[in-house]
Structure 1
Amino acid sequence: MRLITALLSTAMLTATPAMAIADPITVGGKNFTEQLILASMTSQYLEAAGHEVEMRDGMGTSVLRQAQENGQIDLYWEYTGTSLISYNKVTEDLSPEQAYERVKQLDGQKGLVWLDPSEANNTYALAMRKPQAEKLGITSISDLADVINNGTELVLASNATFYSRDDGLRPMQEMYGFEFGRRNVKRMDQGLTLTSLDQGAVDVAMTTATNGRIPALDLRVLEDDKQFFPDYALTPVVREETLDAHPDLAAQMNELSSLLDDETMASLNASVDVDRETIEDVAADFLKENELL
């Protein structure tokens, strides 16, 4: 009995240090400005909070999601609409609250936990130059539809994804009852759509709501008055196993999420895309301003 007790005690002592040392948290990110900022911000924040962190950013959307499902990525920021439509193939018309609850439930079955959503909603949007929009009396997509249906030809800049996806150009036009016409749609890289608009090469440009160049170029975002575009609430998503290994991680990420909204993300994005500050500096400055670094 003494021998068994001694062996058990030795085993527990040997196992304790191993159990106390959690694996590093691998933070992922997609390959565009907003996601690169968030990956750097999250990595710096968690390191300052005492975690060991590895960062793997600049990944494609599908590759990143697959890496998280496979356990290669522990944490990254995802958009509710992306998970709802692209990963879970849900096509129902859901409110923002319903969309969040649905992806939380569906992804939870895969061991992925959606934490508290931020107030940043990086959904698709249509933008125009303010002087032209005011001249034509356009403040919403319904106004845009009326102008085009009354015979005014306007040219749209779109990336290939928006042109073809299920929550993109074609179904949007069907809901609002108008059509640009094939010859009036110019497909290009997403990074060029607002540049083309600003230079007057097109009249309307697809963009995303938190694009930092919108305020920098003083553009008007048209109101989606029929609420066609799904909600793309920016939310930290973490593997359940990772949360089990790091009990304080959920509260820490929820605190960071509570600080983000459309205006904040647009400003951060503009600091990189317009003011040419480094991603690392922009992320660090934000954390310092909010006393998280």
Structure 2
Amino acid sequence: MLHRVFTCLALTLGLATAVTGPATAADKIVVGGKKFTEQQLVSEMTAQLLRANGFSVDKRPDLGSSVLRAAQENGQVDVYWEYTGTSLVIYNKVTERLSPEETYARIKTLDAQKGITWLNPSKANNTYALAMRKEEAGKEGIASISDLSKQLNAHKPYKFASNAEFFSRPDGLRPLQDMYGFEFERKNIVRMDGGLTYQALKDGQVNVALVLSTDGRIPAFDFIVLQDDKAFFPSYALTPVVRTPVLEANPKLGELLNTLSSQLDNDTIAKLNSRVDVGRESIEGVAKDFLTQHKLI
């Protein structure tokens, strides 16, 4: 079974074997990314930035979180952008609640032992969040998850749109419900692709949807993000992570990615996401425009 898993991983990445030896400055940099707009944008920005500075780049976007992380640990992906909370909870199984600064320090130390270096975190904190249509939330007097809990416990039959990962992950729906003391009826939980939750909420197919807090569709569709008043969700600072041997062989790589990271915050990334998801601009065009405007290329 284990052999089959790694065989599938190699086929997914289009690689016959893992590259586990020390990197040299002449090696091609493999840039990975996950399956949603924000990740597609930062992986494309990374690829364009590195190519403009003389690196040879092989971009491998649209990978699942676990596959991407395993690929980096196995030497098949050199650099991608990860979220601090994901590494803390999912990859390192840390269950204690930490501040954003403590989260970053902990995962930096833990992942260093696995040959992974966390560079400087951006100011973009793309945490999971619950959203409602602003008009409906206003009528129901809901501004926070605690307010939502009161309505659900008063037997309001709200429907909830969630992606499959959040439905089952250890920092997902079940522990969220436990902390806030409510429960969506199973028949009222609609699982779908993460990108579809926004449209389902906009169209009134559901009352509450799982969103990512930096998604540009939140203001475009007139949603309100419910305040996480019990601080359930950990910090999810968007941060470039690099295989340590690759970084040691290419110190310029860290300098370039830290500069890019310093230009990203919630408002900036939400506007970039909106240009793609709402404005229907191309990933490549938005990435190039951003890098050019900020004189990074």
Aligned to 1:212: 216
Aligned to 1:96: 100
Task: With the length of structure 2 as denominator, give the TM-score of the two structures.
Answer: 0.89
Contact conserved, 2:25 with 2:249, CA < 8 A, in 1? no
1:246 aligns with 2:258: no
Larger radius of gyration: 1
1:226 aligns with 2:230: yes
Question: How much identity, in percent, do the aligned residues show?
Answer: 60
How far does residue 20 in structure 1 lie from its aligned partner after superposition?
Answer: 8.6
Aligned to 1:136: 140
Q: Report the count of equivalent residues.
A: 275
Aligned to 2:79: 75
Aligned to 2:131: 127
Deviations 1:207-261 (A, max 9, x none): 1111221121011011101110111111000111111111222121111001111
Specify the SS of the correspondent of 2:274: helix
Task: Output the CA distance in 2 between the equivalents of 1:89 and 1:79.
Answer: 14
Q: How does 1:153-192 map to 2 (within 5 A)?
A: 153-192=157-196
- Match of 1:104, as an amino acid? K
Deviations 1:159-212 (A, max 9, x none): 222112211111111111122222222222212211111111111111111122
Question: Which of 262, 280, 287 is equivalent to 2:291?
Answer: 287
Aligned to 1:34: 38
Question: Which of 260, 267, 272 is equivalent to 1:263?
Answer: 267
Task: Output the CA distance in 1 between the equivalents of 2:89 and 2:254.
Answer: 25
Question: Which of 88, 97, 100 is equivalent to 1:84?
Answer: 88
Task: With the length of structure 1 as denominator, give the TM-score of the two structures.
Answer: 0.90
How far does residue 286 in structure 1 lie from its aligned partner after superposition?
Answer: 0.5
Moved over 4 A (4+): none
Task: Output the CA distance in 2 between the equivalents of 1:267 and 1:153.
Answer: 33
**Which structure 2 residue ranges, 5 or more long, are not aligned?**
1-22
Deviations 1:16-66 (A, max 9, x none): xxx995212221111221111111100111111222222121222122112
Aligned to 1:9: none
Task: Output the CA distance in 2 between the equivalents of 1:137 and 1:218.
Answer: 16
Specify the SS of the correspondent of 2:271: helix
